[in-house]
Amino acid sequence: MKILLTGFEPFGGEPVNPALESVKLAKAPEGVELVKLEVPCLFEKCIQVVMDAVRREKPDAVLCVGQAGGRDKVTPERVAINVMDARIADNGGYKPSDVCIREDGPAAYFATLPVKAMTAAINEAGVPTALSNTAGTFCCNDVMYGVLHEITKEGLPVKAGFMHVPCIPEQLPRFKEGTPALPLEDIARAVEAALKAIAEN
């Protein structure tokens, strides 16, 4: 089995993104060929970069990973919605408000990855986790929705989905007091557990 694993670059003035760092650390489960990809934190461009890799690598599954500062658990995402509505600008300075991702697309797409099995596997690995029903309205939701839309439109035999991860302790001095964090090693372990669940389900 071949899995494309992607992580967003740092954004919002941060020097590091635990999503990308955990992707770099994660090891492939037995029997899985793992292709890793860094994704720009840019609306639309993030979809293009991932889809270019999907067409080039022809994976069986795509797991995109991003940071959700403020969450205290690793959260596989169940659904992506057809809207861009940014609290902060992306890395190119674009800050959309109530903009459709795809005018020809449905209101939402459900992940086609086994999100409940992923959540259970992460829990078994000893990392705090929960299934999430909101991928937000920033670039994380954008790439999840866009990739699922393009895969559906092109009829590709590829499962896809998204997973959010918390901050790491090294980021906390730049976040508001009380922001939760997980060690990078725990986040990488969660990514590996999710990959294993994808391969087994």
Q: Is the pLDDT of residue 185 over 90?
A: yes
pTM beyond 0.85, yes or no: yes
Provide mean pLDDT across the span 50-78: 98
Selected catalytic residue, list 77, 139, 149, 150: 77
User: With contact defined as beta carbons under 8 Å apart, do 59 and 160 qualify?
Assistant: no
The DSSP code for 82 is: S
Annotated catalytic residue 149:
no
Number of other residues whose CB lies within 10 A of the CB of residue 112: 15
Provide mean pLDDT across the span 29-48: 98
Using 50, 70 and 90 to split pLDDT, how confident is the model at 174? confident
How many structural domains is the chain composed of? 1
Provide mean pLDDT across the span 161-172: 96
pLDDT tens by residue, 108-129: 999 999 999 999 999 999 999 9
**What average pLDDT does the chain have?**
97
Q: What's the domain range around 157? A: 2-200
CATH at 178:
3.40.630.20
Annotated catalytic residue 100:
no
User: With contact defined as beta carbons under 8 Å apart, do 42 and 12 qualify?
Assistant: no
Provide mean pLDDT across the span 131-138: 98
Annotated catalytic residue 140:
yes
User: With contact defined as beta carbons under 8 Å apart, do 90 and 8 qualify?
Assistant: no
Selected catalytic residue, list 46, 64, 139, 140: 140
Instruction: Quickly list DSSP for 123-171.
Output: HHTT--B--BS---SSHHHHHHHHHHHHHHHHT---EEEEEEE-B-GGG
The DSSP code for 77 is: B
